[in-house]
Amino acid sequence: MAKRLKIGITCYPTLGGSGVVATELGKLLAEKGHEIHFITHSIPFRLGQFHKNIYYHEVEVNDYYVFRYPPYDLSLASKMAQVAKMQQLDLLHVHYAVPHAVCAFIAKRMAGEGLRTVTTLHGTDITVLAQDESLKDLIRLAINESDAVTAVSNDLIQETRDLLDIDRRIELTYNFVDKRIYYPRDCASLRSDFAREDEKILMHISNFRPVKRVGDVVEIFAKVAEVVPSRLVLVGEGPDLPKIQCKIRNLGIEDKVHFLGKQDDVAQVISIADLMLLPSEKESFGLVALEAMACGVPTIGSFAGGIPELVTHGETGYLSPIGDTEDMAHNAIRLLSDRALYRQFQEACLHRATTQFCNDLITEEYERIYYNVLGIETNVPEPVCKS
């Protein structure tokens, strides 16, 4: 049996797909017997109740009068080093380059070279922050000084290389879903709260930022609703919400749209949908499309970032050029109007999610990376995901 590891995990605990993936990964690693220490400013919202082998260490920021802004980064680095020494951690796994990988670099120098660091790039740490010339050198340093670096799509790997002129190895490690949580559920009673039996449900889940193009979501739905009786369910909140509400009013479709706000149990919510809409202009992976896929819900999306690596065009969904709401609506109507074709897509979704992106496969892949940076031979065969 391979050595049980002591792993520190740092992520953004309250928002975004990176925090979700990091937290779920920690829980799965703990189930396998590893000792997991979350080092964050608040308890990750997906952590929930007590879990065996999981510990939480709060980062407290000292607000000294000499500081114009509380120095969270320094407090985090100090806490990482403190926990690493006190708990004798084998490694730190940080999600997001800034500030987490930078803090891990500092913590490693404080705790000693025996500590290893793994950095996972999730998206905007590269696609947005690395565009800032004042941060490029810092992000490049953090990546190059990590013992291992992973990214959630080939597209993100290439963008990292192009933007930061990095030639070190970056391992592709896709996001995943826990198949015990994400699966098709019988939600007939919940579904009836939003749509009649003869109506279809189109859904969009995001943080309602401009990059998500939620306005396109509304346009796609309006075109579909002219042909197929349907409802739109919007899940999430964000800066574009007032604009979206205005657009819906202007199109006169208020009675066909439901706003659910933020939801924790998205697996149940997704199960009432017939289609997931993801017309983003940037998407390093598209976790919500994977969550939908695992629930048997095809995606109508865009050829943006890592989405084509996740959604197989013509098999588990349809993709169109960014902003082409006409084509997206056409594809949605085609799927919703052909029962046999829709069932075919559903089956393809479930197969792809459970064989390519499930928790068994990706958790073992991360374990392989951990053992490799620690120089531990495991003789573990290549992971195979079990349906």
Give SS3 for 356. Answer: helix
pLDDT digit string (tens) for 170-223?
999 999 999 999 999 988 889 999 999 999 999 999 999 999 999 999 999 999
The β-bridge relationship of strands 257-261 and 317-320 is unpaired
Contact 26, 13 (CB under 8 A): no
Alpha helices (runs of H) in 165-240, residue ranges in sequence order = 188-191, 214-225
Q: pLDDT per residue over 356-370, tens digit each? A: 998 999 999 999 999
**Cα 172 from Cα 360, distance rounded (Å):** 16
Residue 50 — very low, low, confident or very high, per pLDDT cuts 50/70/90?
confident
Q: What is the pLDDT of residue 222?
A: 98
- Could you give all domains of the chain from N- to C-terminal order, each with its CATH number? 6-176+358-374 (3.40.50.2000), 188-356 (3.40.50.2000)
Mean of pLDDT values over 294-300: 98
Please report which residue ranges of the chain form alpha helices under DSSP H: 16-31, 72-87, 102-111, 124-127, 133-144, 154-164, 188-191, 214-225, 241-251, 266-270, 287-294, 307-310, 325-337, 339-356, 359-374
Burial of 87 (0-12, 13-18, 19+ CB in 10 A): middle
DSSP 8-state assignment for residue 80: H
C-alpha to C-alpha distance for 120 and 104, rounded to whole angstroms: 12
Q: Residue range 316-334: average pLDDT?
A: 98
CB 254, CB 142: distance < 8 Å? no
Question: Average pLDDT of the chain?
Answer: 92
CA pair distance 147, 374, nearest whole angstrom: 9
55 alpha carbon, distance to own chain's centre: 22
> Mean per-residue pLDDT for 278-294?
96
**What is the rounded distance in angstroms from the CA atom of residue 13 to the CA atom of residue 19?**
5
Q: Report whether pLDDT(94) > 90.
A: yes
**Contact assessment for residue 19 and residue 287, using Cβ atoms and an 8 Å cutoff:** no
pLDDT value, residue 44: 84
Quote the pTM value: 0.91
